[in-house]
Amino acid sequence: MNETEILQEMTEKAASIVFFGGAGVSTESGIPDFRSVDGLYSQTYQYPPETILSHEFFMNNTEEFYHFYRNKMLYLEAKPNDAHVKLAELEAHGKLKVVITQNIDGLHQLAGSKQVLELHGSVHRNYCMRCHQFYPVQMIQESQGVPKCNCGGTIKPDVVLYGEGLNSDVMSQSVAAIRNADVLIIGGTSLGVYPAAGLIDYYRGKNLVLVNKSSTPMDSRANLIIKGSIGQVFKQLKWSEN
């Protein structure tokens, strides 16, 4: 059996699968990875992306934040790829219990996944910092300068910026899901971003699968490692025919 066939067999025998994904899940939909060679971190701006995408910068340079955010963080034309689609199929068959994602693009939901835990929030949710009214992403995209609520408050994307903590409820649900999983599939992430990467420590099963183009610090702990494009790997799986 090759690696993909082993993964197929694991999923067929599993009762509770959790998928934990990073930027590599979305790059195949045309959304750049911050940390890749061609990603945002390797490009030149007036300020480093890490600075612009920080809570402090948002509060003190809101208009400049939004100039960058609209140009570099919104990919509303992106479509789900084979990985997103296959994960939604696996959930529909009752095998996959939850998708835990570091991405903020909403592509898992667009593909049909229902149980999605977004560690870093979503560009599709935006709220007034004064009255907490929510606004869709289209309002942010179509606005000019700093988007304002009807009450006059500043609207903020519901994404976790540098200097902000992860949502405690989302983290708690993620920990519980991973603890209860008999198969944990980690895909498209170098497992270098904490505290999200630390979630792997809560897995107690014996079917830890890593699907990534490059090596990760957790390779030695994996029961199955598949090097390559996550979309190409998942495309070979036949959950829809089970």
Handedness of CA 214, 215, 218, 220 (dihedral sign): positive
Amino acid at 34: F
Q: For residue 184, what are the CA distances in angstroms to 102, 103, 123, 145?
A: 15, 18, 26, 43
Amino acid at 134: F
Handedness of CA 205, 207, 211, 216 (dihedral sign): positive
Contact (CB, 8 A) for 146 and 63: yes
The DSSP call for residue 72 is H
- Rounded to an integer, what distance in angstroms lies between the CA atom of residue 127 and that of residue 136? 9
- How far does CA 11 lie from the centroid of its chain? 21
CA angle 110, 174, 72 (to 5 degrees): 45
- Tell me which residue has tokens 């529909």: 92
List b or e across 107-117, with b for residues whose CB sees 16 or more CB atoms inside 10 angstroms.
bbbbbebeebb
Catalytic residues: 120
